[in-house]
């Protein structure tokens, strides 16, 4: 877990506006001050201060950037490939499709597992959100949203509600009921309100808060019960396409990736942007934390997936191949973090060995681009959602160690 | 106004002109319609703008002195708002929104604050944009035109371009390199032609041109001061050597290797493979004896132990059972665990419950002489109690972290004991037995009016099918 999250958040009157709120400790002209996140933004968007000029700021910016690069370089005393030499090679994986979930009439855009390890929620382009028991293939609940392109859906930790959002610029929470005849739309609760489409949403450790990312370039934390905005996160200069919460015991950070090619790590308490990585050459479509919380991976339109070490503050691996040209739209780790599953726009899923950087397996079977891959909470299966209107889940097959599984039934 | 089209096939979002109630239909042929579908709306806007400039019934303009030169036909924001209100007879919010659209689409441009394209309802100064620069004109704002404009400004005065303009300029220099000579030539010609004009005209034209490009090529990127703050923070933040962090990552992989169903078989079987859910039923919260793998996982870290609700239960049971024979320094972990759980509830609870929860926690754990007083260091205690004057969800963060660290110290001892206690290395229990047990449990729970376990009920319904 990140060392910096051990620091207690200061809470008190802002040095600028005087209101009591979580404070960001920043340096203005080498002086340490405590500002609330709103004042930091206001101050930063103001014009040049006395004694500054565009040229001097630019010079300062360049020298600071260079210094940061130097600091990072000092700590890179070893590469991941060297460390991975001591790890044994993986046996060839045999992964087979176990089930195909058919039931969506249109492109499936997003899915999320329930903590009970067998249920999942999926959303599609025609506005339908379906809750399935993936084990028995039953559809348990269905809701039709008035908007099309439901880009984000999430299952609540308790298993009692789902959240979804998309082109309607909102994220709504639907409590699930055991009564099959009840229309879930009646209990719908609009929680998040953005000024552009909602690209990703997730619950925090409880059903009471959701975190959303949006095409308006911001992420936001909302209180479900009241719909109140608890914290907003500004820093991306283009649409934010994905976010993921850190799995660490402190659970105070999350990472977001967007069309500005940056992956930012945020402190949920103060709204501060802690770390930023600009390594991709094109839009970042998906970000996901490593199971230990000390690293994360990103998938991008430049056909690569990258792996970032948060404690050393740098990118440590790039997963790419000349034969992979189409953008990667989604990534997820297996339970131990050894495997990285990535879904691509050329209808395939590739499984990468995270430590050695090689591709372990290529999975075919979908008939259109893969929009989302997610490993189940206990790591037993991988579910992939695709624009071919289906969801497939794949599990470890009976191992035939001489061949690598290339297709499935 | 910049519409970021994603890779998905999103339709162009319709221009927000639906609030315009004008129904003037012009007979002008719209040859540009097929590649600029918003032309229809903009034509409506145009008619209004023409009306606004009517010398008798339009918005009153005046001469304004701005930076040594006088600029004619300057209007104020509040006059525009007043005119629109009078014309459309609608709510102030709609008038404000409509006015801002006029500025956002470039029909009116601000003289001060030229980068902020909104209409302010005060004495801020604006001007009507010349029809030459209206968005409905038949020519699109080409990259080469923009390159010429930037080059011209560079010729006039080096270093005048802003950061985002510099970025555009370098990009265009690479992109249009093959006709760069032509661009520079055009820029020089325009610059010379500009010098021929008299000063006031030149100033006006410069303003118009600048406004046009702000609309067609909006500024992007964070202000430099913001970026500098970020860099300073990033430099000062503590970092770790790669050998240490990468070593930790690989250690994690090695530790969890046998627990990853993709790398090692999961016992008794992978449900997705055999269609048998024994793996789940023998790992529920209330199972008699937890499996060997599960207990082993608890030994990996305190986080694992506490995240698994059964682990947390067993931890509590262990602490309570061994109470009489337990040394005092272990006894206090009962309160520590309770405090940790209460702090989690506060952190993730609803906004409205914050104050009441904070109060209860203070009375139970932190107040002097509290029934479950937690023994944390004086400084942390002081900060926490002070913070409770204005309870917010992170007020217990420092105390919670401290308590967690204290519990971590006994984690190894506890997980060893738990492994010893799990004598029966059971790999699974028959689902029927599990179901019967859960039925009994549910009956008891119902009798005690406890909240229903939704998941158990739903899986029960499934089994009945």
CB-nearest partner of A379 from B231, B262, B345: B262
- Closest-CA distance, B173 to chain A, in angstroms, reads 19
Phi–psi pair at A249, nearest 5 degrees = -65, -30
Q: Which residue, among A227, A22, A200, has the nearest Cα to A123 in the 3D structure? A: A200
Do A151 and A167 form a contact (C-beta atoms < 8 A)? yes
Task: Kindly tell me if the per-residue pLDDT of A126 is higher than 80.
Answer: yes
**A296: closest chain B residue by CA:** B249
- The residue written with tokens 């071919």 in the block is A388
> In A, which residues are within 8 Å of B351 by CB distance?
223, 225-226, 228, 230
CB-nearest partner of A208 from B256, B273, B349: B349
In SS3 terms, A163-185 reads as EEECCCCEEEEEECCCCCCCCHH
Task: Count chain A–chain B contacts defined by CB atoms under 8 A.
Answer: 286
Region A132-157: mean pLDDT is 91
Region A166-188: mean pLDDT is 86
Cα B29 to chain centroid distance, Å, stands at 44
Region A327-339: mean pLDDT is 94
Q: Which of helix, strand or coil describes residue B130?
A: coil
DSSP assigned state of B390: S
User: Which pLDDT belongs to residue B117?
Assistant: 80
User: Which pLDDT belongs to residue A333?
Assistant: 96
Do A174 and A143 form a contact (C-beta atoms < 8 A)? yes
> In A, which residues are within 8 Å of B162 by CB distance?
54
User: Which pLDDT belongs to residue B453?
Assistant: 62
User: What digits encode the pLDDT tens for the residues A274-304?
Assistant: 899 999 999 999 999 999 999 999 999 999 9
Partner-chain contact A276 B457, CB within 8 Å: no
User: What digits encode the pLDDT tens for the residues A78-102?
Assistant: 888 888 888 888 888 888 888 888 8
B107 vs B120: CA distance, rounded Å: 15
Partner-chain contact A57 B225, CB within 8 Å: yes
CB-nearest partner of B256 from A79, A226, A337: A337
User: Which pLDDT belongs to residue B324?
Assistant: 53
> In A, which residues are within 8 Å of B228 by CB distance?
57, 60-61, 64
Partner-chain contact B246 A309, CB within 8 Å: yes
Partner-chain contact A8 B398, CB within 8 Å: yes
CB-based contacts of A183: which residues, under 8 Å, 6+ apart?
Answer: none
Region A110-116: mean pLDDT is 93
User: Which pLDDT belongs to residue B162?
Assistant: 79
User: Which pLDDT belongs to residue B29?
Assistant: 34
Task: Kindly tell me if the per-residue pLDDT of A319 is higher than 90.
Answer: yes
Cα B71 to chain centroid distance, Å, stands at 43
Do A283 and A258 form a contact (C-beta atoms < 8 A)? yes
Mutate to test the interface with B, among A207, A309, A363 (most CBs of B within 10 A): A309
Do B190 and B148 form a contact (C-beta atoms < 8 A)? yes
User: What digits encode the pLDDT tens for the residues A265-275?
Assistant: 999 988 888 89
Partner-chain contact B261 A11, CB within 8 Å: no
Instruction: Return the axis-axis angle of helices B397-421 and B333-348, rounded to nearest 10°.
Output: 120
Residue B453 tokens read as 């376990």
Region A10-37: mean pLDDT is 71
Partner-chain contact A75 B277, CB within 8 Å: no
User: Which pLDDT belongs to residue B104?
Assistant: 83
Partner-chain contact B252 A292, CB within 8 Å: yes
User: Which pLDDT belongs to residue B463?
Assistant: 64
Residue A290, CA distances (Å) to A294, A363, B79, B258, B426 in order = 7, 22, 57, 17, 31
Partner-chain contact A395 B270, CB within 8 Å: yes
- Closest-CA distance, B59 to chain A, in angstroms, reads 31
Q: Which residue, among B136, B122, B104, has the nearest Cα to B38 in the 3D structure? A: B136
Q: Which of helix, strand or coil describes residue B70?
A: strand
Q: Which of helix, strand or coil describes residue B69?
A: strand
Phi–psi pair at A351, nearest 5 degrees = -105, 120
CB-based contacts of A364: which residues, under 8 Å, 6+ apart?
Answer: A347, A348, A406, A407, A408
Count the alpha carbons within 13 Å of B183 in the hemisphere toward its beta carbon: 24
Region A176-193: mean pLDDT is 84
**A86: closest chain B residue by CA:** B250
User: Which pLDDT belongs to residue B7?
Assistant: 36
CB-based contacts of B417: which residues, under 8 Å, 6+ apart?
Answer: B318
Q: Which residues are bridge partners to B66 per DSSP?
A: B69
Q: Which of helix, strand or coil describes residue B271?
A: helix
DSSP assigned state of B125: E
Q: Which residue, among B118, B111, B135, B155, has the nearest Cα to B213 in the 3D structure? A: B135
**What ipTM was predicted for this assembly?**
0.85
Cα B323 to chain centroid distance, Å, stands at 47
Residue B427 tokens read as 């790999």
Greater model confidence, A263 or B262:
A263
- Closest-CA distance, A21 to chain B, in angstroms, reads 8
- Closest-CA distance, A335 to chain B, in angstroms, reads 5
Work out the number of other CB atoms within 10 angstroms of the CB of residue A308.
23
> In B, which residues are within 8 Å of A310 by CB distance?
245
- The residue written with tokens 């023409």 in the block is B50
In SS3 terms, chain A reads as CCHHHHCCCCEEECCCCCCEEEEEEEEECCEEEEEEHHHHHHHHHCCCCCCCCHHHHHHHHHHHHHHHHHHHHHHCCCCHHHHHCCCCCCCCCCEEEEEEEECCCCCEEEEEECCCCCEEEEEECCCEEEEEECCCCEEEEEEECCCCCCCEEEECCCCCEEEEECCCCEEEEEECCCCCCCCHHHHCEEEEECCCCEEEEEECCCCCEEEEEECCCEEEEEECCCCCEEEEEECCCCCEEEEEECCCCCCCEEEEEECCCCEEEEECCCCCEEEEECCCCCCEEEEEECCCCCEEEEEECCCCEEEEECCCCEEEEEECCCCCCCCEEEEEECCCCCEEEEEECCCCEEEEECCCCCEEEEECCCCCCEEEEEECCCCCCEEEEECCCEEEEEEECCCCCCCCCCCCC
- Closest-CA distance, A370 to chain B, in angstroms, reads 13
User: Which pLDDT belongs to residue B5?
Assistant: 37
- Closest-CA distance, A321 to chain B, in angstroms, reads 22
- The residue written with tokens 């009439």 in the block is A105
* Helix (H) or strand (E) segment spanning residue B66: strand B62-66
List helix spans (H) across B308-396: 309-321, 328-331, 333-348, 354-361, 378-387
Q: Which residues are bridge partners to A11 per DSSP?
A: A22
User: Which pLDDT belongs to residue A398?
Assistant: 38
What tens-digit pLDDT sequence spans chain B (465 residues)? 233 334 333 333 333 322 222 222 223 333 333 344 466 778 888 888 898 888 888 888 888 777 777 888 888 888 999 999 998 888 888 888 888 888 888 889 888 877 778 888 888 888 998 888 887 666 677 788 889 999 998 888 877 787 778 878 888 888 888 889 999 999 999 888 888 888 878 888 888 888 888 888 777 666 667 778 888 888 888 888 999 999 999 999 999 998 988 888 887 788 888 888 888 888 888 888 888 888 888 888 888 888 888 888 888 887 777 655 656 666 778 888 888 889 888 888 888 888 898 999 999 888 888 888 888 888 888 888 888 888 888 888 888 888 888 888 888 777 777 777 665 444 455 555 566 677 787 777 766 654 556 666 666 666 654
Residue A231 tokens read as 């914290």
Sheet holding A152-155, edge to edge: A152-155, A161-165, A170-175, A189-193
Q: Which of helix, strand or coil describes residue B385?
A: helix
Phi–psi pair at B160, nearest 5 degrees = -90, -15
Do A369 and A386 form a contact (C-beta atoms < 8 A)? yes
Mean pLDDT of chain A: 85
User: What digits encode the pLDDT tens for the residues A203-250?
Assistant: 998 899 999 999 989 999 999 998 889 899 988 888 999 999 999 776
Cα B342 to chain centroid distance, Å, stands at 28
> In A, which residues are within 8 Å of B403 by CB distance?
none
Phi–psi pair at A98, nearest 5 degrees = -100, -40
- Closest-CA distance, A78 to chain B, in angstroms, reads 6
Burial class (CB in 10 A: 0-12, 13-18, 19+), B142: exposed
Do A129 and A143 form a contact (C-beta atoms < 8 A)? yes
User: Which pLDDT belongs to residue A324?
Assistant: 93
Do B9 and B24 form a contact (C-beta atoms < 8 A)? no
What percent of chain A is predicted at pLDDT more than 70? 87
A170 vs A195: CA distance, rounded Å: 9
């Amino acid at each position: 877990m990140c060392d910096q999250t051990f620091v207690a958040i200061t809470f008190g009157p802002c040095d600028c506006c005087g209101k009591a709120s979580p404070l960001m400790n920043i340096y203005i002209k080498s002086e340490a001050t405590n500002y609330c996140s709103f004042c930091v933004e206001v101050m930063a968007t103001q014009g040049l201060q006395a004694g500054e000029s565009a040229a001097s700021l630019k010079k300062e910016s360049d020298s600071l950037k260079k210094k940061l690069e130097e600091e990072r370089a000092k700590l890179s005393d070893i590469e991941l490939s060297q460390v991975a030499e001591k790890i044994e090679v993986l046996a060839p994986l045999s992964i087979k499709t176990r089930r195909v979930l058919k039931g969506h009439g249109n492109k499936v855009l997003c899915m999320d597992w329930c903590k009970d390890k067998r249920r999942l929620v999926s959303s599609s382009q025609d506005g339908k959100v379906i809750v399935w028991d993936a084990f028995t293939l039953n559809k348990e609940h269905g809701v039709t949203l008035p908007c099309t392109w439901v880009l984000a859906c999430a299952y609540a930790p308790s298993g009692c509600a789902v959240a979804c959002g998309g082109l309607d610029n909102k994220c709504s929470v639907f409590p699930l009921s055991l009564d099959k005849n009840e229309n879930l739309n009646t209990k719908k609760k609009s929680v998040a309100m953005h000024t552009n489409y909602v690209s990703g949403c997730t619950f925090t450790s409880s059903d009471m808060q959701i975190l959303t990312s949006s095409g308006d370039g911001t992420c936001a934390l909302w209180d479900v019960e009241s719909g109140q905005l608890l914290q907003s996160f500004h820093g991306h200069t283009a649409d934010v396409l994905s976010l993921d919460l850190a799995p660490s015991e402190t659970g105070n950070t999350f990472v977001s990736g967007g069309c500005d090619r940056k992956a930012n790590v945020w402190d949920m308490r103060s709204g501060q942007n802690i770390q930023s990585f600009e390594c991709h050459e094109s839009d970042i479509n998906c970000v996901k934390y490593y199971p230990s919380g000390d690293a994360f991976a990103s998938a991008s339109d430049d056909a690569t997936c990258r792996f970032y070490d948060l404690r050393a503050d740098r990118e440590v691996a790039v997963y790419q191949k000349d034969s992979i040209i189409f953008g990667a739209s989604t990534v997820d780790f297996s339970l131990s973090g050894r495997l990285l599953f990535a879904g691509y726009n050329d209808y395939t899923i590739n499984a990468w060995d995270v430590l050695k950087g090689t591709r372990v397996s290529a999975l075919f079977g979908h008939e259109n681009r893969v929009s989302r891959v997610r490993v189940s909470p206990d790591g037993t299966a991988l579910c992939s959602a695709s624009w071919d209107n289906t969801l497939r889940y794949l599990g470890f097959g009976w191992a035939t160690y001489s061949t690598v599984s290339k297709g499935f039934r | 106004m910049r519409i970021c089209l994603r890779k998905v096939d999103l339709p162009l979002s319709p221009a927000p002109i639906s609030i315009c109630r004008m129904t003037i239909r012009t007979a002008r042929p719209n040859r540009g319609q097929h590649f600029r579908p918003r032309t229809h709306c903009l034509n409506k806007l145009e008619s209004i703008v023409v009306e606004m400039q009517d010398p008798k019934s339009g918005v009153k303009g005046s001469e304004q002195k701005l930076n040594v030169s006088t600029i004619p036909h300057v209007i104020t924001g509040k006059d525009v708002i007043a005119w629109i209100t009078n014309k459309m007879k609608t709510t102030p919010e709609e008038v404000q929104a409509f006015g801002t659209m006029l500025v956002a689409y470039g029909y009116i441009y601000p003289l001060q604050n030229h980068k902020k394209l909104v209409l302010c309802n005060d004495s801020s100064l604006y001007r009507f944009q010349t029809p030459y620069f209206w968005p409905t004109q038949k020519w699109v704002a080409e990259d080469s035109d923009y390159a010429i404009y930037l080059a011209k400004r560079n010729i006039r005065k080096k270093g005048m371009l802003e950061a985002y303009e510099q970025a555009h300029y370098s990009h265009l220099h690479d992109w249009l390199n093959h006709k760069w000579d032509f661009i520079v030539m055009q820029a020089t010609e325009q610059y010379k032609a500009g010098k021929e004009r008299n000063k006031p005209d030149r100033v006006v034209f410069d303003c118009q041109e600048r406004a046009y490009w702000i609309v067609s090529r909006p500024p992007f990127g964070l202000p430099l001061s913001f970026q500098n703050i970020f860099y300073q923070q990033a430099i000062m933040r503590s970092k770790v050597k790669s050998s240490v962090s990468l070593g930790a990552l690989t250690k994690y992989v090695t530790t969890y290797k046998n627990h990853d169903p993709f790398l090692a078989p999961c016992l008794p079987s992978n449900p997705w493979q055999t269609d048998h859910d024994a793996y789940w039923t023998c790992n529920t919260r209330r199972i008699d004896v937890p499996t060997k793998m599960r207990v082993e996982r608890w030994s990996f870290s305190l986080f694992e132990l506490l995240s698994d609700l059964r682990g947390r239960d067993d931890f509590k049971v262990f602490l309570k059972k061994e109470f009489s024979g337990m040394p005092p320094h272990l006894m206090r972990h009962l309160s520590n665990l309770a405090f940790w759980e209460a702090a989690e509830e506060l952190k993730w609870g609803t906004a409205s419950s914050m104050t009441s929860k904070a109060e209860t926690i203070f009375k139970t754990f932190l107040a002097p002489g509290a029934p479950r007083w937690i023994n944390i260091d004086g400084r942390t205690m002081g900060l926490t109690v002070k913070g409770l004057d204005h309870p917010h969800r992170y007020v217990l963060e420092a105390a919670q972290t401290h308590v967690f660290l204290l519990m971590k110290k006994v984690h190894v001892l506890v997980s060893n004991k738990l492994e010893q206690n799990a004598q029966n290395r059971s790999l699974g229990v028959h689902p029927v037995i599990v179901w019967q047990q859960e039925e009994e449990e549910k009956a008891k729970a119902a009798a005690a009016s406890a909240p229903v376990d939704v998941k158990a009920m739903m899986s029960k319904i499934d089994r009945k099918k």
